[in-house]
Homo-oligomer: A and B are copies of this chain.
Amino acid sequence: MNLQVVGKSLPRVDAVAKATGRADYVADMALPGMLFGKILRSPYPHARLVHIDVSKAKRLSGVRAVVTGKDVPRHRYGIWPDIPFTNDQVGLAVDKVRYLGEEVAALAAVDEDTAQEALQLMEVEYEQLAAVFNPQDAMEPAAPQIHEVEKNIAWPISFNFGDVEQGFRESDYVQEDTFITHHQCHSTIETHVSLARFDPPNRYTLWTSTQSLDTTRGELATSLGVPLSDIRIIKAHVGGGFGCKTRMYAAHFLSAVLAKASGRPVKIVYDREEQFIATLERHAFSLKLTTGVKKDGTLVAKECTAIADGGAYNSHGPVIIGRAGAQLSLIYRVPNMRYTGYLVYTNKPVCGAFRGFGNLQARFADESQMDMIAHQLGIDPVEIRLKNAMQPDHTTPHRWRVTSCGLSQAIDSAAQGANWRQRRGKMPKGKGLGIACGGYISGTYVRHNAAGAFIKVEEDGGVTVIAGASDVGQGSDTVLCQIAAEELGISLEKVKMTFGDSDVTPLDLGSFSSRITFVVGNAVKAAAQDAKRQLLQVVAETLEANVEDLEAERGRMYVRGTPDRGLSFADAVKTSLKKGRPVLGRGSYNPDYCEPLERETGAGNISPAYSFGAMTVEIEVDEETGQVRFVNAVSAFDCGRAINPCLVEGQMEGSVVMGQGWAFTEEVYRDKGQSLNASLLDYRIPTALDIPEISSVIVEPVDPNGPFGAKGMSEGTMLPVAPALANAIFEATGVRIKELPFTPDRLLAGLERKKRRRDQ
């Protein structure tokens, strides 16, 4: 393929706006007569709401509306509308609160100070209830009951492929470990925000920071009990999502009901503390993992029992607990596999979607154990991975149909980048190399897995892509514009993309499951093809040529092989318009070889493609302090064709940094449900000073179904970071850390244990 725009590291379409500070975020917006909303939050992790007296707050001058759970619709909602008990949330707490920070009431006032003052005037009588903060305690028979489910198990899941017992019997070696992962906060730089207006008789419009117009609108409609079409959601620039803006959040519901109650637009912007205590966290997992292998390292059987701490409500937890298990057979081929997962309620903030989506936790366990097995069998960690690595055109036990797969190549590249074969095992004391792998879906089946797009071609040859995909910082608008430009044979500067607007942009599920490039990219390509077809027809008529003989490239449409015989793209548009034919494209994409998961078996090919990668890391341990210095990382990832290599590298680098935070410093400290570090000062995300040197290697096995061969890659690249680090720490120190994060005290304790063992 002779590509002109795709495959080039062109500047992002939003680069100048963002670099010059002119990009507007919803927090910057104002509407005439706008009020400021604030939320009253529970100070207790578990309590009955006895009485709320809002009279003083209502009397404060400047307060225009106050709502409690009794004043607003109470329709339950959740990710699976067809399984009622999983729909465990309502817009505002009614009878009790289940975590410290939960929304109890909300109000809107003419300015922020008045709203804040009014919050102090709200009088709530609580009856405190016993609370529980970890899933093991929560599953005890005597544990306080958080929802009406047995043992606080929100969602159990199990599946079984092949014969695991037989597999273990046939194994030469079986390793069993328990791994512990912790919560992580999304720490988006832009906090949650929603600006709502209500237009009688029945119309809500919300401007918000979101990853998914579709889910946000759907859940708002459900929770309010109104038709979908009564709600319009408009997206602005998004200052980071990473999963926590995939669904409706309280600011949406509350700005909407306050707007209706007050008759004025209402804006709610979370402060940083709210962002920490009342938005989604990553699920903490404990995973008991048992793996059986042949002497040569060939995987025979795997069994895993996972318990996920889901916090007070389900959110995406029921999917995440399943996904953790399913991906255990994606990276390495394993014929026998059993998985049991429990999503458990606790009195903590809700856990939900977060870059990696359950895969991260399971991969930490699996990749750590892979190294432990290699160590036991005396096999090089690279070799054991290459032996078992997923290969192209393979179907996993879950019926995940892998088409393109560059895993072996990625392992080779990552190893080579680290000079693995020369250096591994020969590092100076305190230094270590580690490797781990990852892999991910490119979109997932949710009601469907389709997307649509419109293309508008302007009179001067400019093009607008109208699609509902949310660029949340990853650069997807740029990628979609490149795809349209390539298809139309014009330069990227001629193409722009509109923000998502649920009234206008074609239905799209949103930015999650690394789906945009693949799924929306194919839809945009189809819409561009539709527009191109119309233009080529016009050119064919003008030139008296056959439309099949024409091609579009470098801003021209011409007879193949005779570039002079043609029209410029802009002239083709003008000619079309003179003939009375505005050029309007529409297209959609449906990977019809995808399917929903079967709930009974857990099987089903949910994604149209799977991407794979490996990472080597080098670290240096200070055995006195227990500090680990992350020296460098080589990330090699198969993203099909890289539409924009620079953006691919950006995702890979971002993944290393986010994985580094999860591995080393990002941990929520709580005392009886109260966060002790709800600020960016105390909750430590890596800064520029902490970041290792990162080399990115793009592996490009062109995917047969991706747009120009591309696949998703924004989440999978994060999976290897923590286990690669754990494996490197083991190489450097002989200490195997099976619990995240790798804090100095954990490492020092490990070194102490090792020393004691040696001394014995």
Contacts and interface: CB of A to CB of B under 8 A. Distances in A.
Interface of A: 16-17, 20, 22, 24, 28-32, 199-201, 218, 221, 227-229, 447-452, 454, 456, 458-462, 464, 466, 494, 496, 498, 501, 503-507, 577-582, 584-588, 590-592
Given A30-B30, A585-B586, 4 more contacts: A16-B199, A22-B200, A229-B494, A498-B503
Nearest to A27: B32
A506 B582 contact: yes
A582 B32 contact: no
Given A32-B24, A32-B29, A584-B506, A16 B200 contact: yes
27 contacts: A16-B199, A16-B200, A22-B199, A28-B32, A29-B32, A227-B460, A228-B459, A229-B458, A229-B460, A229-B461, A447-B577, A448-B579, A448-B580, A450-B577, A450-B581, A456-B503, A456-B507, A464-B504, A466-B504, A496-B503, A498-B504, A580-B588, A580-B590, A580-B591, A584-B586, A584-B588, A585-B586
A552 to B, nearest CB: 18
A577 B229 contact: no
Given A30-B30, A464-B504, A454 B584 contact: yes
A591 B581 CA distance: 10
Contact of A588 (B29, B451, B452, B581): B581
A581 B462 CA distance: 27
A162 to B, nearest CB: 31
Contacts of A29: 31-32
B462 A229 contact: yes
A30 B28 contact: no
Contacts of A448: 577-580
A16 B201 contact: yes
A261 to B, nearest CB: 15
Contacts of A447: 577-578
A484 to B, nearest CB: 13
A647 B30 CA distance: 34
A131 B218 CA distance: 65
A469 to B, nearest CB: 13
B460 A228 contact: yes
**Residue in A459, A581, A587 whose Cβ sees the most chain B Cβ within 10 Å:** A459
A694 B504 CA distance: 40
A478 to B, nearest CB: 15
Given A456-B506, A460-B227, A592 B580 contact: yes
A449 B580 contact: yes
**Residue in A20, A229, A585 whose Cβ sees the most chain B Cβ within 10 Å:** A229
Contacts of A201: 16
Contacts of A592: 580
Contacts of A506: 456, 582, 584
A454 B586 contact: yes
Contacts of A464: 503-504
A22 to B, nearest CB: 6
B577 A227 contact: no
A17 B229 CA distance: 17
Nearest to A14: B199
Nearest to A19: B200
Nearest to A230: B462
Nearest to A507: B582
A200 B32 contact: no
Contacts of A451: 582
Contacts of A456: 503-507
A409 B451 CA distance: 52
A490 to B, nearest CB: 11
Contacts of A505: 456
Nearest to A29: B32
Nearest to A530: B586
A338 to B, nearest CB: 32
Contact of A454 (B24, B200, B454, B507): B454
B462 A17 contact: no
B507 A459 contact: yes
A459 B221 CA distance: 12
Query: Which 4 pairs between the two chains have the least Cβ-Cβ distance?
Result: A229-B462, A580-B590, A452-B582, A450-B580
Contacts of A588: 580-582, 584
A463 to B, nearest CB: 8
A228 B494 CA distance: 11
Contacts of A466: 454, 504
A92 to B, nearest CB: 24
Contacts of A449: 580
Contact of A462 (B228, B577, B582, B585): B228
Contact of A590 (B218, B221, B228, B581): B581
Contact of A452 (B16, B507, B584, B591): B584
Contacts of A227: 460, 462
A4 B80 CA distance: 37
